[in-house]
Amino acid sequence: MILDFENLSEGKKYSTLSNTIFPRPIAWITTQDEEIINLAPFSYFTPLSSEPPLLIVSIAHKEDGTQKDTFANILKHKVCTINLAHKDLLGDLINSSEELPHEISECEKFNIETKHILAGFPPMVANAKCALFCEFVKTIDLGNRYEPLILEIKKIYIDDDSVDDKNHIHLENIGRVGMEFLVDSVRVH
Ligand SMILES: Cc1cc2nc3c(=O)[nH]c(=O)nc-3n(C[C@H](O)[C@H](O)[C@H](O)COP(=O)(O)O)c2cc1C
């Protein structure tokens, strides 16, 4: 079967991409504006380079053309914290994708505990085992609803119990496949 993207609806393009290019990691992003802590997941997310340590997250504008809170907060404050979620946090991650007014925090509404561990960066999800503390680099104008952000990782938190005595990191991040999630990923050599 050959699918011609010229003849596919936006929804079919999305489902085709997300069921072929997978698993996609999920950037579960905390940002802060005044006292309001915002949290939302994004799976158009991938690392770009390790020197410098850059990654990209592609955030769409809302249907009405306004910016999502995560995008607006990153552009305003130039920092964000990307939490990497494990399976126990899946319910919280899905809840936090609800589109709420700017002044309502997903963390408060859904009782998702956060902790401030680094000055100058938004808090991380308290039960996450890993978080990337990032600075804004630039956006890319694609001329459509998506506006990818390039971010530079400045510091990484890794839960001590996830690092073995040889300094190898063992995380069990969840990923996205189509509209579903991948948990318990098995590594093979
Ligand atoms: C697993 C998952 C992945 C998502 N990935 C993206 C994405 O890559 N880009 C995007 O714009 N929205 C994505 N969304 C939708 C956003 O999470 C949603 O629009 C959210 O309300 C944005 O919140 P904010 O306005 O607080 O930033 C995703 C949702 C889920 C559940």
Query: pLDDT-based confidence at 187, cuts 50/70/90?
Result: confident
Q: Is the peptide bond before 53 cis (omega within 30 degrees of 0)?
A: no
State percent of the chain over pLDDT 90. Answer: 97
Kindly give the number of the ligand 1 atom that is closest to the alpha carbon of 106.
26
**Ligand 1 contact, 97 CB (< 6 A):** yes
Q: How far apart are CA 165 and CA 176, in angstroms?
A: 30
Query: For the chain, how long is the longest CA-to-CA vector?
Result: 53
Q: Taking a C-beta distance cutoff of 8 angstroms, is the pair 146, 60 a contact?
A: yes
Read off the pLDDT band of 189 (50, 70, 90).
Answer: confident
Instruction: Tell which CATH classification among 1.10.3720.10, 3.30.420.40, 2.30.110.10, 3.40.630.10 matches the domain 23-182.
Output: 2.30.110.10
Helix/strand/coil for 17: helix
Of ligand 1's atoms, which has the minimum distance to the CA of residue 39? 26
**Of all protein residues, whose CA lies closest to atom 28 belonging to ligand 1?**
42
Nearest CA to ligand 1 atom 5: 42
pTM check: above 0.95: yes
39 has pLDDT over 80: yes
Q: Which residues contact 123 (CB under 8 A, 6 or more apart)?
A: 30, 32, 37, 81, 114, 115, 116, 117
pLDDT at 185 over 80: no
pLDDT in tens, 49-63: 999 999 999 999 999
User: Is residue 130 pLDDT above 90, yes or no?
Assistant: yes
